[in-house]
Amino acid sequence: MKRKSTVLRIIENLKILYPEAICSLVYEKDYELLFATRLSAQCTDARVNMVTPELFATFPTLESFARATPDEVGAIIRSCGLYQTKARDLVACAKVLIEQHNGILPDTMEELTALPGIGRKTANLVLGDIFHKPAIVADTHCIRITGRLGLTDGTKDPVSTEKQLRAVIPPEEGSDFCHRMVLHGRAVCMARNPDCTNCLLKGDCDFAKANKIK
């Protein structure tokens, strides 16, 4: 377990590297972030951002999504992968939001994860970005990097990663910390050939120390 001072230093160094901790998914309405994040499963944010302008223009309201058929939605999001399942989820999710929540995005983990196709990762992103509540988004970048740093025990399980990070990351820092993990994972700490030599975090990183990176 890292010392509190070490964890805070990692957080501060990430702020130096990535001052703007923002979600890379483009959206305007609250539910659009929910839908875009659902589309991002096993798909890059860049690809999702190429698809959503047409998607949200074709179906500009929750009501229009609810009236759509999965085939109509699927034709637009086809390039995102697993598009048939995702299309069914978006249509079903729109119907549930209208019928059970008066068209308003709920603000609890329990209600969000009860929506069709919505898991903890998506729910945490919405809770952090939309409602500014404590959140840990345990995506692939977060899981990989926090394991390398030694902030977790190296688990690949998202729920276990989330639980361990909630124990060490100050609640008010969680959402931004995870956005910075994504940025760091793309720029420096890649899955293959991480650029440890030029990483500002190497002094506090178990992976760098194990590989004798200076």
Is-catalytic flag, 214? no
Catalytic annotation, pick one of 89, 129, 139, 176: 139
Find all residues with CB under 8 Å of 131, minimum gap 6, and list them. 107
Q: What is the token pair recorded at 58?
A: 């074709």
User: Tell me, what amino acid is at 214?
Assistant: K
Q: Do residues 143 and 102 lie in contact, with contact meaning Cβ atoms separated by under 8 Å?
A: no
212 classed as catalytic: no
Residues 6+ apart with CB under 8 A from 103: 62, 63, 97
Quickly count: other Cβ atoms within 10 Å of residue 197's Cβ: 10
Helix (H) and strand (E) counts in the chain: 12, 0
Annotated catalytic residue within 86, 89, 121, 129: 121
* Distance in angstroms (rounded) separating the CA atoms of residues 175 and 133: 8
> Hey, which residues are catalytic here?
121, 139
